[in-house]
Amino acid sequence: MTKHKRRKKLSKISKFLLVILICVIGITVYKKYDAYLVKQEKLELLRLEKIEKEKKNKYNNCLLKKAEETDVTDSIKLLITELEDEIKKYNVYVYYEDLSSGFSFKYKENEVIYGASLIKLVDALYLYDNNLDFNSTMTYQSKYIRGSSKGMDARKIGEEISLLDLMNYSLSVSDNTAHIMLVDYIGYNNLRDYGKSLGATSILTGVGGEKYGNQTASDTNIYLKRAYKIMLEHKNGNYLKEFMTNDYQNHLILDNEVKIAHKYGSYSNYFHNIGIVFDENPYTISILTLHGNSNYKDVINNIHKKIYELHISFRENLENNCYKEVYE
C-alpha cells in the first residue's frame, strides 16, 4: 500500500474516531443536561411542595383562630337570633362550645338547677385525674343499694366490684348504686373540692349531704371539656368514651352517623342531656331542662338540631374566610 493510500485510510479512521468521540461527548453532555433538568424539576417540585405546605399550615392555623378573632357574618347572626327565639319557648339552660375555636352559644348558663345524675360524670373524672387504679375493688354492701341500678342489680351482696365496673355502670346506664359506692370511695368533700378545682361553682350544692346536687350549664361544660381531653390524652381514655357513647336516654342524637358521648340526668320535672359531639370539628353541648314531666325529648332534640346547624354554618364560614386569606 502506497504512502498516499495509507494516509487516506488513516484519515478515514481518524474521521470515524472523531465522529465516535463527538457522539460520546454529545451523549455525555446530553445525559448531564438531562440530569440537570431532572434535578431542576425536582427542586421546583420541592419548592412548590414547600409553598403548598406553608399555605396548608397557614390555613390550619387560621382554622384554630379564637372565636373573638373570627368574623361572624350576618347569616351566623341570623342563626343565633333564630336559636334564641326557639330556646325562649322552653324552660332550659344551654351551653354550646366549638372545641377548637371556643366559639360558643349560651343561654342562662349560670342559672343553678338540680343536676340529678350529671354528677356521675364528675365521679369518673375524679378517678382519672387522681390516677386511681381502675382494678381496685369495693365490697358491695346492702347499705349502698338504690333504685334505678341496672348494672348493680345483676351483682351480689358481698361481691367485689372494680372501680372500672362502677364507672361503667354509673355512666352507661346511670346506675345509682354504683354512684353511691363511688362517692363513698372518693369521699364527698374530695369530690366537691375536685369539681371546684376544675372551675365549677355549684357542685354538690343544695340539700345538706345530698350526693347529686345542683349544676349550671357552665359547670357541665367545664366537665365535658375535661372529659374530652382525657378521652384524647389519657392512656385509658377509651374507657370514658366507650361508657358515654350510647343511645340510653340520649336525646342529643342527630339524623346522621356522628357519635355522641353523653350523660343524662333525670328527676321529677328535671331532665338534662350533656355531651361531646364527635363531629369533624368536635363540640360540647349542655341542655338542662325543666321538662322532665313533659316533652323533654323533643325540646332537647329540637334545640340540638338548631345548634348543630349553627355549628356547621360557623365552621363553613371560618373555612371560607381562611381559604380566601391563604389561597386567594
Q: What is the pLDDT of residue 28?
A: 75
Residues 6+ apart with CB under 8 A from 224: 121, 274, 275, 276, 284, 285, 286
Given this model, what pLDDT does residue 65 score?
A: 67
Q: What pLDDT is recorded for position 227?
A: 98
pLDDT confidence of 322, banded at 50, 70, 90? Answer: confident
pLDDT in tens, 179-192: 999 999 999 999 99
Per-residue model confidence as pLDDT tens digits over 1-16: 565 555 555 566 666 6
Comparing 241 with 27, the larger pLDDT belongs to 241
Is the pLDDT score of 23 beyond 90?
no
pLDDT above 60 (res 208): no
Q: What is the pLDDT of residues 267-279, one digit of tens each?
A: 999 999 999 999 9
Strands 270-277 and 283-289: antiparallel
- For the chain, which residues make up each domain, given as ranges? 1-64, 73-131+201-327
Higher pLDDT, 51 or 185: 185
Other residues' Cβ atoms within 10 Å of the Cβ of residue 188: 14
Amino acid at 58: K
CATH classification for the domain delimited by 73-131+201-327, as one of 1.25.40.20, 3.40.50.2020, 3.30.365.10, 3.40.710.10: 3.40.710.10
Whether the per-residue pLDDT at 168 is higher than 70: the answer is: yes
- Facing residues of 139 across strands? 160
What Cα–Cα distance (Å) separates residue 165 from each residue in 141, 172, 184?
Answer: 15, 10, 15
Residue 58's pLDDT band (cuts 50, 70, 90)? confident
Average pLDDT over residues 197-207: 90
Q: How far is CA 326 from CA 67, 101, 137, 147, 317, in A?
A: 19, 18, 55, 58, 14
- Residue-wise pLDDT for 115-146, tens only, equals 999 999 999 999 999 999 999 999 999 999 99
